[in-house]
Amino acid sequence: MTSPKRILVSACLLGHAVRYDGKGKPLAHPLLERWKEEGRVVTICPEMAVGMPVPRPAAEIENGLSGEDVLCGRARVMEITGGDVSAEFIAGAEKAVAFAQANGCTHALLIDGSPSCGSGFIYDGSFAGKKLVGNGVTAALMARAGIAVYSDRQIEELAAVLGA
């Protein structure tokens, strides 16, 4: 019998206070509770994994571009204060992928909207609250590495795919 699959989950979804605003964003869902009880949840915050502070300035991918564009050098991740944090975001994505692979995770549940973890939508770089369809940098690198990314709104789809 094969053991149930482990799932990589964004640290802020578990309530860890790692977001730019110093807060978590816990997902209260019975599936996540059960996976935790089963010891199947592993977690990382890609931004904190490379030493970014909490709190930190809000950041978005510039010019309506996406995490794939950042990985290809076509776009930068910019802080609202003007700092270029592209290198940190790429390094964080690399750490998150390596961590997922080291823990045998083929699936990830990442919070949507983040310039790192977003998979259904991200913000357009104007810091005006405008959403667009696209991946953050970590979600894009996970997809490249063959790790299936689901947003927090897709937890039931993920459970269906995992068969539990």
Output the CA angle 98-100-103, nearest 5 degrees: 105
Q: What is the dihedral of CA 24, 152, 122, 60, to 10 degrees?
A: 20
Task: State yes or no: residue 70 binds ligand SF4 (CB under 6 A).
Answer: no
x/- mask, ligand SF4, residues 6-25, rule CB under 6 A, reads: ----xxx-----xx------
Given a contact cutoff of 8 angstroms between Cβ atoms, the answer to whether 74 and 39 are in contact is no
Task: State yes or no: residue 119 binds ligand SF4 (CB under 6 A).
Answer: no
Task: State yes or no: residue 114 binds ligand SF4 (CB under 6 A).
Answer: yes
Q: CB-wise, 133 or 160, nearer to ligand SF4?
A: 133
Residue among 7, 35, 41, 46 that touches ligand SF4 (CB under 6 A): 46
Please tell me the number of Cα atoms within 13 Å of 25 on its side-chain side. Answer: 15
Residues of this chain that interact with ligand SF4 (CB under 6 A) are 10-12, 18-19, 45-47, 111, 114, 116-117
